[in-house]
């Protein structure tokens, strides 16, 4: 998609969805001001925070659309790769937990790098992974040698 097309889409998002969300937010602010019931106020505040989150997401997408990228550079950039993979993995995990009725999730990451994924003093990446998975009642297994690294995560899910 050309920069011109992306800018046009960004303009449409700004003038459409973004403005509509801001209007909804103002409407909720008015309801919040008028509401005396604390339970209802808490519910309205929760929706207001959700709308604020959506507004920030739309603004972020608008900025991304308006930013010129060299396509070759974009595909090879580490932050972009990390961002896109995080989005993909989040969607997969959401689908598993919300729709699949699965009771177990196994995830494996394998790379063909130089290995060396071991716990190192004052570095907390690998311990942090293990701690998070164990806190969820799961198990993580990491094997790393000169042919690459294999990270296997197994996690029992709550029954639907």
Q: Whole-model pTM? A: 0.50
**Could you report the per-residue pLDDT of 98-121, keeping only the tens digit for each?**
888 899 999 999 999 898 888 877
- Tell me the three state secondary structure of residue 121: coil
Handedness of CA 28, 34, 36, 37 (dihedral sign): negative
The answer to whether 44 touches 35, Cβ cutoff 8 Å, is yes
Which pLDDT score, from 0 to 100, does residue 72 have? Answer: 46
Overall average pLDDT of the 126-132 stretch: 88
- Per-residue pLDDT of 8-28, as tens digits, reads 888 888 888 988 998 998 899
Closest alpha carbon to 41 in 51, 32, 52, 29: 32
Q: Yes or no: say if 157 and 102 are a contact pair by the CB < 8 Å rule.
A: yes
Residue 77 in this model has a pLDDT that exceeds 90:
no
pLDDT for 2: 74
């Amino acid at each position: 998609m050309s920069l011109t097309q992306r800018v046009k889409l960004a303009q449409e998002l700004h003038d459409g969805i973004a403005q509509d969300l801001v209007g909804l937010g103002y409407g909720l602010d008015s309801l919040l001001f008028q509401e005396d019931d604390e339970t209802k106020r808490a519910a309205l505040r929760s929706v207001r925070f959700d709308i604020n989150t959506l507004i920030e997401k739309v603004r972020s997408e608008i900025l991304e659309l308006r930013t010129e990228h060299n396509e070759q550079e974009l595909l090879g950039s580490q932050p972009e790769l990390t961002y896109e993979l995080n989005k993909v993995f989040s969607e997969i995990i959401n689908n598993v937990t919300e729709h699949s009725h699965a009771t177990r999730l196994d995830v494996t990451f394998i790379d063909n790098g130089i290995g060396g994924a071991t716990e190192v003093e004052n570095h907390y990446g690998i311990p942090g992974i293990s701690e998070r998975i164990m806190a969820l009642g799961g198990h993580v297994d990491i094997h790393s040698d000169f042919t690459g690294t294999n990270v296997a995560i197994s996690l029992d899910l709550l029954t639907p």
